[in-house]
Structure 1
Amino acid sequence: MTTTDVIAEEKGNTHNVRAVTRALTVLKSFVGKDGQTLAEVTVATGLDKGTTRRLLLTLMDNGFVTHDARAQQYRLGLAIRELAASVTGEFDLKALALPVLNDIASEFHMTAFLSVYDKGDAVCLARVHDMRGIEVHWWAIGGTLPFNCGGAPKLLLAYRPESEIAKAMKRPMVALTPKSITDPAKLEADLARIRKRGWELAVDDVALGLTALAVPVRDSQGNVVCSVSVAGLTPQLASRGRPAYLDRLLSAAAELERRLKASTMTQLDVTG
């Protein structure tokens, strides 16, 4: 920016930095889209192709954008999810859940997770590890797991509307281990079982030797808003296909549901 530009901005009584504004314009162009080509971003932002490409490369260097070389598309990156995980809405879900996660992590000597569904994937909002157990570090805060792998991703997908499940089934399924489900018919059967029994035990399908147990957390209308799960060594969590600690994890989910309800009522009292 030249001295003339700076003077002009001061006279206009604006504090906008043009490069930052342009970068934000690029990010906002991804709203409602899974991915965009360079040409599509250029059209959506109204910027010239060279400027758009430089902004995308800068955003890629900082983790806010990724590039799919096969599809020749740009997508929002992990840094966006990490920021989103820190956003406080009507109630701070993460803050409400952390005491519950701390309790079960220390009781089980495992890693406890809070996750939500987002466009076919599960996003980790919080992760708590007990220092006396083996830390499961495969799922970072703000990171995602594919919908067909892990306890929480499959459980969260199971409670989505049928149309959304059908849409997810059209996406390619990633096999993280030989135990990962990649057959749509088999996954649909798994989702039906999850809805019937109300929990999911995922054995060795994210990493061999590790198992996750996930249960749903519902709002006052009965909608599943998130999942509480624990992960640890397979012998700790699974015995002949049956989960350990299921009753305790269900009670933890019920406690979080009570916290959510109380928080919602407090918000209504304040605004009512």
Structure 2
Amino acid sequence: MTPDSKPSSFKQNIRAVSRAIAVLNSFAGKDAQTLAEVSAATGLDKGTTRRLLLTLVENNYIALDAANNQYRLGRAIRDLASNVSDSQDLRTLAQPALLELASELSVTVFLSVFKEGAAVCLARYHDMRGLEVHWWPVGGTLPLNCGGAPKLLLAYQPEEEIARLVSEPMQPLNENSIVSPDDLRQRLALIRERGFECAVDDVAIGITALAVPVLDADNKPICAVSIAGLTPQMIKNGEPVPLERLRQTARHIRGRLGL
């Protein structure tokens, strides 16, 4: 090894990291890009861009849609983002109330937010006496046409965002999932009218999810608080039994946020 080899290698590593960061930054404000678009946005040649993208795909920082050869940000980015604390750590503020709710009702409790066109689970708590719902891990997403919190979070988005997301193909999780744009729009209007979503059997048969929003001073959603349990436990005479208790928890979290 020559005296200059280590500094040269170090500089090459720094350049590779800088280029990878440039590729990731090129996705800001964009849902998906082709190889050519990433290359143009970063100023890198296509060969270098392809190698960087494939490395990022292998590590789940970028996802490749093989059907149309478009790239988008991957699951690892969402997992990292879910662990970023801001000036008010939402999970820390909400945790005591959510743990109390899970223990009292013997259900699985979720805290979620709408981020970059997806419903992202920030926290999940479970009481050992009840059914543990596994389908939504921390950092994970659910289709916006399924479940309680995803549909609720979508319902409170600006109309242009709703129009964009409703126009995209919908992934059914079972035969009860909404897949029609018109049906989903009607459901979103109902959610806004009554201020909650009760999703019966549309993610897993026999399971009901109930969700309410935590709204800011401008009536925009900060997050959603939701619970999931066996349908007979959640629904009586066609009505969601724990609705007022769930709303109480949302009001408590709102108060902890100083609203």
Measured against the shorter chain, the TM-score band is over 0.9
TM-score (norm 1): 0.88
**Aligned counterparts of 2:122 and 2:132: Cα–Cα separation in 1:** 17
Is residue 120–residue 146 contact of structure 1 (8 Å, CA) maintained in 2? no
In structure 2, the CA distance between the partners of 1:6 and 1:133, relative to structure 1 (3 Å rule), is same
Aligned to 1:228: 225
Match of 1:257 among 239, 254, 257: 254
Tell me the distance in 2 between the aligned counterparts of 1:175 and 1:206.
Answer: 8
Mapping 1:178-257, distance limit 5 Å: 178-257=175-254
Question: What per-residue deviation string (whole Å, max 9, x for no partner) do you get for residues 182-212 of structure 1?
Answer: 1122211111111111111001111222110
- 1:50 counterpart residue number: 47
Q: Is the 8 A contact 1:151 1:201 kept in 2?
A: yes
Q: 1:90 Cα deviation (Å)?
A: 2.3
Partner Cα distance (1:57, 1:109) in 2: 44
Determine helix, strand or coil for the equivalent of 1:207.
Answer: coil
Determine the C-alpha separation between the residues in 2 that align with 1:84 and 1:256.
21
Deviation of 1:133 after TM superposition, in Å, equals 1.7
Q: 2:149 aligns with which of 148, 152, 173?
A: 152
Q: Show CA shifts across 1:169-193 (max 9, x none).
A: 2111111110001112221111111
Cα deviation, residue 47, structure 1: 1.9
Letter in 1 for 2:225: V
Give the equivalent residue in structure 2 for 1:266.
none
One-letter amino acid matched to 1:165 = I
Q: What's the offset of the Cα at 1:5? A: 6.2
Q: Partner letter of residue 50 of structure 1?
A: G
Give the CA deviation at 1:103: 1.0
The answer to whether 1:101 aligns with 2:112 is: no
Stretch moving more, 118-127 or 66-75: 118-127
Give CA-to-partner distance per residue, 1:116-171, whole Å, 9 cap, x none: 11243211111111122221111111111111111111111111122222222211
Q: Supply the distance in 2 between the matched residues of 1:239 and 1:18 (Cα, whole angstroms).
A: 61
CA-based RMSD of the aligned residues comes to 2.0
User: CA 1:4/1:38 → structure 2, altered by over 3 Å: closer, same or farther?
Assistant: farther
Provide the residue aligned with 1:270 in structure 2: none
Could you tell me how far apart the structure 1 residues matched to 2:31 and 2:242 are?
A: 37
SS in 2 for 1:216: strand
SS in 1 for 2:257: helix
Quick one: distance in 2 between partners of 1:194 and 1:208?
A: 21
Distance 2:77 2:3 in 1: 33
Structure 1's consecutive aligned runs of 4 or more residues displaced over 6 angstroms after TM superposition are none
1:161 corresponds in structure 2 to 158
Aligned residue in 2 for 1:7 = 7
Match of 2:111 among 114, 121, 127: 114
Q: Distance in 2 between matches of 1:40 and 1:56?
A: 12
Distance 1:99 1:7, change over 3 A: same
Which shifted more, 239-248 or 176-185?
239-248
CA shift, 1:70, in A, is 0.6
CA–CA separation in structure 2 for the residues paired with 1:35 and 1:237: 39
SS in 2 for 1:17: helix
Partner of 2:82: 85
**Is there any run of 5+ residues in structure 2 with no aligned partner, and where?**
none
Letter in 2 for 1:7: P
Aligned length: 258
Check conservation: 1:181, 1:187, Cα contact below 8 A.
Answer: yes
The alignment's TM-score, normalised by the length of structure 2, stands at 0.92
1:49 CA drift (Å): 2.1
Aligned equivalent of 2:173: 176
